[in-house]
Structure 1
C-alpha cells in the first residue's frame, strides 16, 4: 500500500507539476556506483525475481530512468548507478570475496567509476571485506568508499555449527542438495561445508589442514581505512509470529541463537554459553544471526517516516566496532537502533509490510553523504 500510494503521488506530481525524475527522487545520487552482494544461498535473479527486491521481486536499485516506467524504485535518483554481483551461493568468503572483487572490477570498467560502494547482506557483508582488501592490493588505492553490511554474522552464527554438528548422513544430504542448487543457480564449485565452516567463529576442524572461521577471517580482513573509507552496519532482530516460519522454528525449538552465545571472554559463538545467566532475551536475534555478531564499524539507525522519506543515520550512542574479535561489550548486547525485521525480510522475502525500496533508498542517501 505504501508503494502504491507513492506511485500515485509520483504520477500526479509528474503530470500536474511537470517535475523531472531527478526532482521527484527521495535519495541523492551516490558519487560512485553501488554494488549489491548477496548472502549464502543468494542469487542475482531467478525467473524475474530479484534477491535484492521487494515482495514482488522488483530490484531495489532499479532507478526510474525511462518514460512512464513504474516497476522501479521511485525513491532513488534517476541517474543512480547500481549493480548486482553474483558469486557462488555456497562457499567460503575467501572464495566468494575474490569472486566479488572480480565482479566489481567488471562493473567499474563498464561504468568508468574510480570507486564503488558496497552493500552486503548476511555473508555478503563478510565477502565485501575480502573484496575491499583484494581491490586495494590490485589497484594500489582504496577502491571501496562506503561498505555497508546488513544482518551480517561478522562474529559468526551458531546455526552454522549446528548444521555441521548434525549426524553425518543428514549433513551430507543437506550439503549435496545445497551444492546441486548452487551449481544450477551459479556454476560448479559450490561447497556447503566450506560455507558453513566460514560462519563458525573458531576454526571448526583442527585436523583438516585448513584454518577456517570468522576469528581468523577477521584478523586477515579487518576494519581498515586502507581497504574501505567507511564501514557501517545495520542490525536486525525479531521475535514471535512476525519471524519467517522456518527461522521461527529454528530459533524457538532448537536452540537460542544469541541469548547466551558469544560473549567477551568466551569467543566460540557456538550457542553454548560462557557469560550469560541463562535468561533468554527474545529479541536478540533475527532467526539466524545475533545482534552480538552484526555490528561492524559504525552502527546505523533506520527511521521510518509515515509522510516523508525514511532515513538512515549514525547511532552516536554506541562506539564503532573496529576490532571485530574484541568488540565493546555494550555493542554486543545493546538493542539500540535494531531494525525489527527477521533475517530474510530485508531482502524482500515476504509477504510483509516492510518497504524494501525505501529502506535501500535511505541507505543510498546515507552513502551519498559519505562517498
Structure 2
C-alpha cells in the first residue's frame, strides 16, 4: 500500500509535464546551423543505458539523457535521434525495440543505414542491431559499454536481497515513474537487465554477437567487420566533482572493481569494442553523457559534448 501511495505521489509531481513529454524517437533540433562539421552521411541514433530515457519532461523544462549533446550535433549539421527503449530489460528485448526505431529513422530520412552510439547497456543494445541487421548499420560506437560485463551487476545478482526486494521495488516504482515521465509504456524486468550486464550473461551474449569484440582481454576488437565500423571510449574516474550528485553512485568504484580502472559502474577493460578512441577520460559513468546537468571535473576533463561532436566528424571523414 505504501509503495502504491508513493508511486501515485511521484506521478502527480510529474503530471504537469505529461502532455508534452517525449514519446518514441527524439530528433535533435536547433534554431540555427553553424556549420557542417558533424554532418555525417548517415543519421546518428543514440541508445541509452540502464534506468535511461531519451527525455524526461518536455523540450522547455525536461532533462535529456544525452545532455546538450544532440542539439550541439544539430547545430553542426548532424541528423541525430535519441531512441527510447526499456530502461530495464534484457539486451535482446531492448535490441528489438531499438531495431524498430532504427527502421523508423531509415524511413524518415531515406538513408539505408545509421550510425549507432550506445552508452552503458546501450552499447550491447546497439551491437544487437549489427548482429541481426548488419545491412542497416554503418557504425557502432560504444561509450562505457557493458561489453565485458560489470562487477556491479555481478554483486547485485549474487545478493538475494537485491535481486528480490530491490527488483520488486524497481519494477513497481522506479520503472513506471520513468515511463510516465517520458510518456511511454515500455516493459520492465530488473532481473533480466542485471543478468544481461553480468559477466555470465555477457559471455553468453557475446557468443551470439561477437562483431567488434576483442579476442584478447582489454585489447581492441576488430575496427571493421561486415562493413561496419566499431569504436569505443570510456572514463576511469569515480569522484570528479563533489557538487555533482552522481558521485554518490560512482564513489565506490575502487571497492567494487578491486582497484581496476573503472568509471564507477563499468571497468575500462569491459568497455572495449573495436577501435579505442580513448580509455582514460577523467569522467565517471554519468559524466560520459554530460550528466548531471553538465557537472564534472572542469579542470582536467574535456567537455563530453565536444567529444561527441568530434566523433561525428570522425564518422563524416570516414564516409559514414
TM range (shorter): 0.7 to 0.9
Q: Distance in 1 between matches of 2:74 and 2:310?
A: 8
Higher helix share: 2
| Residue from 107, 112, 115 that aligns with 2:113 | 115
The question of whether the paired residues in 1 share the 8 Å contact of 2:44 and 2:81 is answered with: yes
Please say if 1:32 is aligned against 2:42. yes
**Where does residue 223 of structure 1 map in the other structure?**
211
Distance (Å, rounded) in 2 between the aligned partners of 1:290 and 1:94: 22
Determine if the alignment matches structure 1 residue 214 to structure 2 residue 214: no
What is the alpha-carbon distance in structure 2 between the residues aligned to residue 165 and residue 234 of structure 1?
A: 28
State the match for 1:245 in structure 2.
247
* Residues 229 and 241 of structure 1, relative CA distance in 2, 3 Å threshold: closer
For residues 105 and 166 of structure 2, the distance between their equivalents in structure 1, rounded to whole angstroms, comes to: 34
Q: 3-state SS of the aligned residue for 2:141? A: strand
Q: How does 1:318-337 map to 2 (within 5 A)?
A: 337=279
Contact 1:25 1:75 in 2 (8 A): no
1:236 match: 235
Cα RMSD, aligned residues only: 2.2
Match of 1:340 in 2: 282
Change (3 A) 1:43 1:228: farther
Following superposition, the deviation at residue 188 of structure 1 comes to 4.4
Q: Output the CA distance in 2 between the equivalents of 1:221 and 1:146.
A: 15
* TM-score, normalisation: structure 1: 0.65
Change (3 A) 1:241 1:121: closer
Structure 2 unmatched runs, 5+: 1-31, 213-223
Q: What is the TM-score normalised by the length of structure 2? A: 0.74
**Structure ID, larger Rg:** 1
Q: Does 1:288 align with 2:270?
A: no
Query: Is 1:298 equivalent to 2:312 in the alignment?
Result: no
Q: Counterpart in 2 of 1:369? A: 317
| Cα distance between partner residues in 1 of 2:55 and 2:79 | 18
Distance, in Å, in 2 between the alignment partners of 1:109 and 1:39 is 25
Superposition misfits of 4+ residues, deviation over 6 angstroms: none
